[in-house]
Chain A
Amino acid sequence: NAGVTQTPKFQVLKTGQSMTLQCAQDMNHNSMYWYRQDPGMGLRLIYYSASEGTTDKGEVPNGYNVSRLNKREFSLRLESAAPSQTSVYFCASRGEGGRNTGELFFGEGSRLTVL
């Protein structure tokens, strides 16, 4: 089982360039999330999607856009990259049912550097 797959794993951009981080999950989960992780800051929510066709802002949405293309895929786009967006980006998904622990399944991360 692949779980949550993110691409690319590494990316270097110049200020002002745009790019899209791709995320796909094969667990038939409804909810998907994008987090960024910076040293000493934990995981901060950028955007989330509770179901196909819906997206909502999280704690740090400025400079980002998202698309929930279908139930499997949730992409994150940087329209005009800035050095402050240098970070590690994690996509996660969550299923329902069972003990309803709210367990998030994370991808391996995408390491983005903006010069």
Chain B
Amino acid sequence: GQSLEQPSEVTAVEGAIVQINCTYQTSGFYGLSWYQQHDGGAPTFLSYNALDGLEETGRFSSFLSRSDSYGYLLLQELQMKDSASYFCAVRDAVTGGSYIPTFGRGTSLIVHP
């Protein structure tokens, strides 16, 4: 089976930097994704890491260490609109050619002025 652990809530102030961690256990690993979801909205894709290292997309960066089964999402220059839930998702064992992602329980990020 698969399991992912991420903090339930993180708070920060506007303009700051925040890191949301994700550790995972899986029988076969292909990559780690991050999704953002605002209250009442749909999850939207942010980033994907298949290899070790940092991927940067504007104010958001995502890091992966395959040997540590660990990744994080880094949000810089926080804005009020970044208040949302963030989910890590593991791309794990491919069954018969299917891609079956498993999601963590999500981290609620609260940005204060």
Contacts and interface: CB of A to CB of B under 8 A. Distances in A.
Interface of A: 31, 35, 40-45, 48, 50, 56, 58-59, 90, 94, 99, 101-109
Interface string B73-108: 000000000000001000100011111111111100
Interface residues of B, number: 25
A83 to B, nearest CB: 22
Instruction: Among A45, A94, A101, A108, find the residue whose CB has the most chain B CB atoms closer than 10 A.
Output: A101
Contacts of B42: 90, 106-109
Interface in B14-70: 30-31, 33, 35, 41-45, 48
A106 B43 contact: yes
Contact of B98 (A41, A42, A43, A48): A48
Given A50-B98, A94-B99, A106-B42, A42 B104 contact: yes
- Centre residue among A43, A99, A107, A109 by max chain B CB count within 10 A: A43
A97 to B, nearest CB: 13
Given A42-B87, A90-B42, A90-B43, A102 B99 contact: yes
B11 interface: no
A108 B41 contact: yes
Nearest to A56: B98
